[in-house]
Amino acid sequence: FPPVRLVAQAPRPQVAVEATSALCQLFGALVLALFPQGETRSRLLWVAAGLATMGIGGLVFGNLWPMWIQTIDPNASMYASLVVWGTSAILLAVGLLPRRAPTLSARAVVAVVGGFGASSAIVLAAYERLPTLTTVRSLEAAAAAHEMPMTGLTAWHWSLAAVPMTLTIAAAAAALFRGHGEAWQSWLVAALVLLAGSQLHGALWPSAYSTILTSADLLRLAFGALVAVGGILELRCLADERASLL
């Protein structure tokens, strides 16, 4: 039997998946930013920053951007996804890899926002001057060919796609050893494994904020759903702790 691979042109479901995933990530980020508990406060603030970056990037590039531009060049959308996933992976790694996470100061927040905004602006304005990631000019035509991995991917694509995936895997491993049995450890490790799987599928077939729905999008939706569940669990733990003090 041929392997099952989900690559389909489905504009409305893809937008819905992208928006739902982004909102779930923003919810998780909000909970971790407002109600971090215990000695892991600094660590979870970096995780919240990474989740917020993914959520904002998903809403901007996955929902608003297609409304402004009818036809998006595959190289532009692939660079946009690299900026979002790369920035978020760096933030996750900074928070989870060190034995003691650095403080997320106001200056660091400004630097992250500025760097993310500048990188996004470069992608939007000058992607044609950047190294080519794929020679494919139509993701719709590539989806109709049912090829895996997608043809036309360059060495630049494989090299750059490996960066966020490697950092995400490292962050998941670090969360497994740095969590010390706290409530957030189990759901965050599982969520990061799903995110790494999404990035792997995205490297093989980079749908990257397009009208194409792939297995990478569904894995990212599962990641977002698990983050939302984790946020609810964190709120429940906080409520139980406060109830015990009354």
- pLDDT tens for 139-198 read 777 777 666 667 889 999 999 999 999 999 999 999 888 766 677 788 999 999 999 999
Report residue 5's pLDDT band, with 50, 70 and 90 as the boundaries. low
Cα–Cα dist 88/94, whole Å: 10
Q: Is residue 153 helix, strand or coil?
A: strand
Residue 4's pLDDT is 46
Of 160, 73, 157, 166, which is closest to residue 123 (Cα–Cα)?
A: 73
What one-letter code names the amino acid at 24? C
Q: At what angle do helices 106-126 and 41-59 cross, to 10 degrees?
A: 20
> Mean per-residue pLDDT for 55-84?
85
Residue 45's pLDDT is 92
Of 74, 80, 86, which is closest to residue 211 (Cα–Cα)?
A: 74
Within the chain, residue ranges assigned H as helices are 11-34, 41-59, 65-68, 74-96, 106-126, 139-145, 155-178, 183-204, 215-245
* Token output for 188: 């965050």
Residue 39's pLDDT is 62
